[in-house]
Each structure stands twice: as C-alpha cells, then as structure tokens.
Amino acid sequence: MNKWVIGARPRTLPAAVAPVLVASALAGSDFSPLPALLALFVSLALQVGVNYANDYSDGIRGTDTDRVGPTRITASGLATPVSVKRAAFISFAVAAIAGLALSAMTSWWLILVGALAILAAWGYTGGKNPYGYLGLGELFVFIFFGVVATVGTFYVQSERITFDALLASIPMGTFACALLAINNIRDRALDAPAGKKTLAVRLGDRKARYFFATLIAFGYIAVIAMRNPWLLLVLLTTPVALRLVRGVLGQAQGRELIPFLASTGKLQLQFSILFAISLVLSHG
C-alpha cells in the first residue's frame, strides 16, 4: 500500500464523511450541492491533516517507537519527518481554501471557525503542550468533528442553526470520539510510559472500555431524543453496535483491538447512512 495512503489512515475517514452526510440530509429543501461538497472537502482534508500531523508529532517525540497499531510512516522510516509535516500542512491548506470558498458564499465568520479547527488539528499532538497528551483529545474531537462539522455543514446550506442540527451533531461527535477512544485503549499500555496521558491512560483500562460503550450508547439516545419516528431506522445498526461493544468490553489487548477500530468506523458510516435516509424520508 502507498505510504501516503497508510499515513492518511483511511479507517478514520468515516468520522469526516458522516457529519456532512447527516447535516446535508437534515437541510432538506435547503440542500445545496456545492456548499455540501466544499464542506466535505474541508472535513476530509482536516481529518487527513490531523492524521499526518499526529504521525509527524508522535514520530519525532518517539511516542510511536513501539507501535501496536497500524504503521506510522514517520516512526517506521517510510517517510521523512519533514515530508510528513509538509503533507499535514498541504492538507490543512486544502481545508483552508475550501473553507474560504464557503465563507465567501455564506459568512466570513466561518474563517475564524476554520482557523480554530486547523489549530486544534495541529495542537492534538503538536506544539509544546499537545492537548492529546493531557487527556483532552475526545473533548476536541466531539467539538470539531461533531458539533462544528455537523452544525457548520447545515449552516452553509441553510444559513441557520437549529436545535435539531445540534442534536444531530451529538451522535456524530460521540462516534468520532469512539474512534479515538478505541485507538487510545489499544495504545494505552505504551502511551503511559511514554508520557502520553490520553483519557484511556487516565481512566485505566476497564473504565476506558466502559467510556467507549457510553459513547456508542449516547449516539443512539441523541437520535431518539429528536422524536422523529423515521429516525428509528438507525436502530437497525444496534446488533452491530452490541457486538462491537461486547468485543471491546472483553479481554482483547493491544493488536487484538485493531479490528475494532475498523468496525467502529464501519458502524459510524452505517449509522450515518441510515440516519441520513431517515431524515430525507421525514422531509416527505
């Protein structure tokens, strides 16, 4: 597989696609293809950018020296730190250009939101005090890949913010957090001695696994709270979710948890597709 595809970490990309898909379906008659496409470019470019930035920053810190998860291209020597850092900045630039186009079409205050999103993407593991090393990763993921991505995509098409858009952002955020949570549970034993105090390190193994289960559960609770009978279609994914949660709550450790990352991404995508379909049906 191409090293840059490996570094982009395709299994995490559902976290970027899902909020755009759901928010565009929620927009209903306000749906606009060009803003939706630009929002997707922003979301995907930010996700790829943060993956490269994380690869670079952890690589030069030595955190990825002993990996149990997917190959990191900096630590493994597949790519030089300079080239990985450049790839991250190119991804952020793509996100910024698409974001500027969206701002020109809707509101210039989106430039500030975009700038904060890029700073958050870099600051996860980059800089002197990366918040990912302080256990704050899930909080920022919920904000930017949940609330901002969903409400922002809805706004650029409808030019309004609604309570339903905020509710819809909750499952998008919790599923995105679940992707990070399972990743950190897998790496917990190696992150702790490396000084990377992720939330999984701070909570400990068992509590971190229950936290993962809680994130998945809150995704379903938020959809039910929208009180739309069509949205019950998402419950078709509950057998998959239950199998995933049971597996994570089991005894799997280290490399044994790698398949659960892919399964979490697939669940998020399946959930989001059914969520979007139910929203379209509810619009009549």
Would residue 8 count as lying in a domain?
no
Q: How many domains does the chain have?
A: 1
Tell me what pLDDT residue 74 has: 87
- The answer to whether 268 and 173 are in contact (CB under 8 A) is no
Return all residues near 72 (Cβ < 8 A) that are at least 6 apart. 7, 55, 58, 59, 64
Would residue 1 count as lying in a domain?
no
Q: How far apart are CA 180 and CA 196, in angstroms?
A: 14
Return all residues near 92 (Cβ < 8 A) that are at least 6 apart. 45, 46, 49, 118, 121, 122
Tell me what pLDDT residue 77 has: 84
- Taking each helix axis from N to C end, the angle separating 205-224 and 163-191, rounded to the nearest 10 degrees, works out to 170
Would residue 129 count as lying in a domain?
yes
Tell me what pLDDT residue 71 has: 77
Tell me what pLDDT residue 69 has: 63
| CA neighbor of 208 nearest in space, from 195, 197, 199 | 199
Q: How far apart are CA 235 and CA 219, in angstroms?
A: 11
Rounded CA Rg of the chain: 18
CATH of residue 36: 1.10.600
| CA neighbor of 193 nearest in space, from 62, 70, 56 | 62
- Residue 118: domain span: 14-282
Q: How far apart are CA 221 and CA 126, in angstroms?
A: 34
The overall pTM is greater than 0.75 = yes
Would residue 48 count as lying in a domain?
yes
Tell me what pLDDT residue 58 has: 84
Tell me what pLDDT residue 129 has: 86
Three-state DSSP class for residue 253: coil
Tell me what pLDDT residue 41 has: 94
Mean pLDDT of successive 10-residue stretches along the chain, which has 284 residues: 85 90 95 95 95 89 66 85 94 96 92 94 88 92 95 95 94 94 90 86 95 96 89 93 94 86 92 95 80
Tell me what pLDDT residue 193 has: 83
